[in-house]
Amino acid sequence: MKKIFIYILFAAAALAGCVNLDIPPKNIVSDDDLMSSQSGLQVYLARLYSQMPWEDFKYIAQRGFDGNSWLGCLGVEGTGEAVTRDNICASFTGESASWWGRAYTLIHDANHLIETLPKYKDNFPEITYKEFLGQGYFVRAYAYTQMARRFGGVPIVKHEISYPFEGEIEVPRSSERDTWDAILEDWDLAVEHLPVNVTFADTPNRYAALAFKSEAMLYAGSVAKYNENVTGRLTGLGEKTRIRVIGFEEDEWWECSNRYFSEAYKAAREVMESGAYSLYRKSWAADDPQAQYQNMNDMWRDLTSPENILVREYSYPILSHGLDAYSSPWIYRMPLSAGTCPTEDLLELYDGFDRYADGTIRVTDGADHTLGTYLMYDKPMDFFDGVEPRLRAYVIFPGDVFKKTPIEVRMGIYTGPLPIAPLRDNYDFSQRGRFYQHMSQYTDESNRTLYLSPNVDTGPVTYTDVNTGEEVTCWAAGANGPFFSNAEATMTGLYLRKYLDPNRELKDIGEGKSDQPFILMRYAEVLLAAAEAAVELSIAGQPSPTGDDMLQVATDAIRDIQNRAGAIEISKKLTGTLASRDIVRKERRKELAFEQKSKWDIRRWRVIDEANRDGFWGEQRDRSSWSDGSRFAFRGLYPFYSTQAGKWFFDICFENRRTFSYSPVNYYFAIPSGEVTKSKYIDQQPNR
């Protein structure tokens, strides 16, 4: 809504000030001012969309909707995508700036538009009038979707009343089923009213409403189904009303799940069949990994992309964010860096790595990464030869180029003899806090073979190059860390690439200077939604809601995404099985990483609590390797240079600063305590 914000300023200037004391002051904007013309409605819509709970660069899960991009990062809320040094790196169990009260302010304004605009219907062509009503329904549907994903059943208000609720107008929470049914009704109204071509640029059209409807119904269908998998069934009644505010009745969850998945599928299919969008392939070329990488690297900044369904635009200095200032590599820190440090666990999802028998990434010639001796590479990027181009477009590998500069990343320098056995004698979760700086190879000054950099300004290391015989002096950790006592460089050996601006010069990487757009909804997500809904319906033995071969639709959708990504395409048609479901889930985890989507996916799949954590990655992994029964943690991929070999090797180890925990109760956020204490109807979540 960048352009519309500008109109607010002009409108405020035009309406401010007056000389006739017999008429209302013009700084009080009336319905006649706003509802009787397109220019007035443009201002009204700008106000609505400025309050929307978009989760983009300015959203951090721990803080919620404070509208501040301070410490801007992506995927650090226990999703496994990344970690960061700050306390914002925590499981997604609540938000300090809650959406509860803000939601009803926005819903009030949407309701006012929906109820008041009919009085001015004659001022507009029918199609325009319907469109503006549709914008109101879109806003209300999205506001309630964001509430239901957090709280389950919430008070449903579809007429204009004031907030905070008081006296006789106080509204109790609806059941979770009734809440999702009300949301579905609003999404359908938005779809019915919104045109394909909207009046105001950057506002949602019919296809955006369908795409977001599909996303919402996937969530509802998943909750209805997978709450049943949580120990003891995840459901409960409000103490004040005895309404089932979380979960579904035993005799209704099956029907609700199938109905919501059907709605998700139908909505996604309508977008697909329209032909209005396609996967971004402007610079893509078959059998050309470099072109495929560049294609996926370009798409995040291309506002003309045929994949974009709804985008939040930024424009410095009017509206900007700080991702580059906080998540760039160390050499571009301004004032911080490395806010988003991708994990080795995330890399395991992607194709092209040499692997052990258990599917994990190979770094030694032994049976797993704790056995044998390290594999050696002439340069760090050799380790990533053959890795799917999509991953390279998302993550900066050690030694890869960013802003025309190789990003030198090195955990340390090893001067000991060859071959090199795993550096640690224990890689178990229980040893997570014991890191390289605690090892005898580093601490034994009389026989030191491992050199690390506590900080960027630590004294350099000097060694003799085995290839040239010349002395080399350098920092043990290279130019970009990791520095073990300074977490402002990479903590995992990896940096974010996705969404960073590769063309922004250092002088322009200041706080609040970034203006690359954020894609709120894109066509790849629609394909993934159709595929997931199709497989879920097939597992349930349900027919296609649209009469097509929905498993073929799902298979083609996944293959299209994999083909564009440069990944290995699935060879067989998907089936109505858990194995096919996990193929779709894994692809979703891969494609939508760092897009504020994964934290919701692992919640709706109910795979974060310990009993269900095997499915956390969208594939079956032995949770005992990364969880101790309550806490869980993620790993880094750490490059070392061997002076004796003149080559590089990699070690896989737990990142030693961050652990996460999650209880089934956290699948629903707590209701803000003030709402509960002042209300005769609003109850705290069951079991809290």
* Tens digits of residue pLDDT in 204-241: 999 999 999 999 999 999 999 999 999 989 999 999 99
* Per-residue model confidence as pLDDT tens digits over 231-287: 989 999 999 999 999 999 999 999 999 999 999 999 999 999 999 999 999 999 999
- Name the least confident of 82-91, 288-297, 482-491: 482-491
Q: Note the pLDDT of residue 93.
A: 97
Residue type, 654: F
The 10 Å Cβ neighbour count of residue 345 is 26
Give the mean pLDDT of 412-432: 91
**CA-CA distance, 257 to 266, in Å (whole number)?**
14
Distance CA 629, CA 370 (A): 22
Q: How confident is the model at residue 429 (pLDDT cuts 50, 70, 90)?
A: confident
Q: What pLDDT is recorded for position 28?
A: 60
pLDDT tens string 569-588: 999 999 999 999 999 999 99
Q: Is the pLDDT of residue 648 over 70?
A: yes
pLDDT digits (tens, 9 = 90+) for 555-570: 999 999 999 999 999 9
pLDDT at 160: 86
**pTM, 2 dp:** 0.94
pLDDT value, residue 9: 38
pLDDT at res. 8: 42
Residue showing tokens 């894994």:
586
Of 653, 39, 636, 128, the closest CA to residue 347 belongs to 636
| pLDDT higher than 60, residue 392 | yes
pLDDT at 21 over 60: no
- In this prediction, residues 369-392 reach a mean pLDDT of 97
Tokens encoding 426: 């224990």
Token digits for 221?
Answer: 């269908």
- CA distances 170 to 92, 156, 157, 167, 499, Å, are 30, 11, 10, 6, 43
Q: What is the pLDDT of residue 516?
A: 96
Do 208 and 521 contact (CB within 8 A), yes or no?
A: yes
Query: For the chain, what percent of residues have pLDDT higher than 70?
Result: 95
Does 5 have pLDDT greater than 70? no
Contact yes or no for 235/244 (Cβ under 8 A) = yes
CA 137 distance to own-chain centroid: 25
pLDDT tens digit sequence for 157-178: 999 886 665 555 688 999 999 9
The string of DSSP letters for 506-550 reads GGG--TT-B---EEEEEHHHHHHHHHHHHHHHHHTTPPPTTSS-H
To the nearest whole percent, how much of the chain has pLDDT over 90?
Answer: 81
Average pLDDT over residues 671-675: 92
- Pick the range with the lowest mean pLDDT from 72-76, 436-440, 514-518, 644-648: 436-440
Q: Which two tokens stand for residue 296?
A: 């996926």
What Cα–Cα distance (Å) separates residue 319 from each residue in 49, 61, 356, 517?
Answer: 14, 20, 48, 11
Distance, C-alpha 101 to centroid of its chain: 24
Q: Are 528 and 279 in contact (CB under 8 A)?
A: no
Q: What is the mean pLDDT of residues 69-86?
A: 96
Q: How far, in Å, CA of 272 to CA of 375, rounded?
A: 45
Nearest residue to 295 via CA among 311, 309, 278, 310:
278
In whole numbers, what is the pLDDT of the chain averaged over residues?
92
pLDDT at 1 over 80: no
pLDDT tens per residue, range 523-543: 999 999 999 999 999 999 999
